[in-house]
Amino acid sequence: MTNKKDKVFGTGSIVLLVLIGLALIVALIRYFFGLGAISNLSDAYPWGIWISFDLLCGVALAAGAFVTAAAVHIFGGETMKPLLRPAILTGFLGYILVVLALLVDLGQYYRIWHLTIYWNLHSPLFEVGWCVMLYLTVLALEFAPMALERYKLQAPLKILKRISIVLIIAGIVLSTMHQSSLGTMFLIMPEKLHPLWHTPILPVLFLTSAIAVGIAMVIFESTISMRVFKREPETVAQGKLAIGLPWVLAIYFIMKIADLAVQGDLGLIFEGSTASYLFILEMIIGVIIPFFIFLSKGVRQSTKAMFNGSIFVIAGLVLNRFNVSLFGIKAPATASYFPHLMEIMITVGIVSAGIMAYYLIARYFPVFSEEH
């Protein structure tokens, strides 16, 4: 843990607290005066930045928890174990923030609990909702040992250690299910989603890209935390985890191009439209460049090089989720959407809350304990 004598609330922390406070004020306006008071959403654009970024990107960027858990406990990557607890913390906070974002975005947010008693077995959202709810519970139990160790509560800690492998397997299964099901939701709109992104294998593509960005996010956040908390680099652990990244990206690229070829839509890549330019940009930034970066053994031996490479993967994933959920959606010619300033403030506030929570928890709890 960090030296308690270090300054807790510096300039950065104060800025984060101000952004969180502004987001809370906007949220109160939303609850008193409705979505229309703080958003530019409409019948033509029923969802915007909150779904594209807060939900679709947020869930994918939190995938590092299940990816690292699988790498360490299923595939025997003991070298990567120092990355596991920070990844679990990132995933846990990420899912909490997704739920908070939904409470702002949902029109009838007070009915979110209806999912538990009104079962629509034919809806992908039903499966997504239950998986997120259950996986958040699993992440809470996986995070619990850090709190129990902090307060030296040995009895419950022993119980959690005995069932840890069950929790890990449950987390991997649940994450796999709902990461793919987020893509399933877009299968019902073949006429609205551009053919460059609408495909029967969209759930598989969502899962594969989530695995890739999960690896990238673990490298990204571990490097940032190393600098913030003045810790030793975890280059060896990061390099081991990064070995699989170029191959995951290669599998994603091959599936994507092969699918377009099978559907006869390969020519759409070069049609010169906005959609085609966005698709090419997504592939170059998020797949091709990081593939060659992480293919190099020298890169995997450099924390700085891996950090830079992870930024490409993350940027490509964010662009992909926006392409699928917003940019690639056909809307009436007379309709347009650009997020309201208050929509952006909510998103910035949520991200700020995640950063602040991670900083405080990592400072006072054994997230980076060497023995783990």
Q: Please provide the DSSP assignment of 131-169 as one string.
A: HHHHHHHHHHHHHHHHHHHHTT-HHHHHHHHHTHHHHHH
Which structure tokens are listed for 66?
A: 């299940």
- Look at residues 344, 329, 333 and name the one whose alpha carbon lies nearest to residue 193: 329
Q: What is the block-wise mean pLDDT of the chain (372 residues), using blocks of 10 residues?
A: 59 92 96 92 88 92 91 85 92 92 88 88 84 90 91 89 88 88 89 94 95 96 91 90 95 97 94 95 97 94 95 97 94 87 96 94 84 44
| Spatial contact of 161 and 144, defined as CB atoms under 8 Å apart | no
Triad 278, 264, 260: Cα angle to 5°: 45
What is the model's pLDDT at position 75?
A: 81
What is the model's pLDDT at position 199?
A: 94
What is the model's pLDDT at position 85?
A: 92
Residue 183 is part of a domain; what is its CATH number?
Answer: 1.20.1630
What is the model's pLDDT at position 127?
A: 85
What is the model's pLDDT at position 44?
A: 85
Residue with tokens 């460049």: 289
How many CB atoms sit inside 10 A of residue 51's CB?
19
Measure CA of the first residue to CA of the last residue in the chain; give whole Å.
Answer: 13
Residue type (1 letter), 318:
V
Structural domain includes residue 20: no
What is the model's pLDDT at position 3?
A: 52
Please tell me the total count of domains within the chain.
1
Structural domain includes residue 209: yes
Write the CA distances from 272 to 142, 191, 247, 283, 329, integer angstroms: 48, 20, 29, 15, 17
Burial call 205-237: b when 16+ CB within 10 Å, e when fewer: bbbbbbbbbbbbbbbbbbbebbeebeeeebbeb
Rounded to whole angstroms, the Cα distance separating 2 from 82 reads 16
DSSP label at residue 232: P
| Spatial contact of 98 and 58, defined as CB atoms under 8 Å apart | yes
Q: Which domain holds residue 255?
A: 56-83+108-331
Structural domain includes residue 316: yes
Residue 201: which residues within 8 A CB-CB, separation 6 or more?
Answer: 255, 259
Structural domain includes residue 102: no
Rounded to whole angstroms, the Cα distance separating 134 from 95 reads 11
DSSP label at residue 82: G
Structural domain includes residue 192: yes
Structural domain includes residue 283: yes
What is the model's pLDDT at position 295?
A: 94
Structural domain includes residue 194: yes
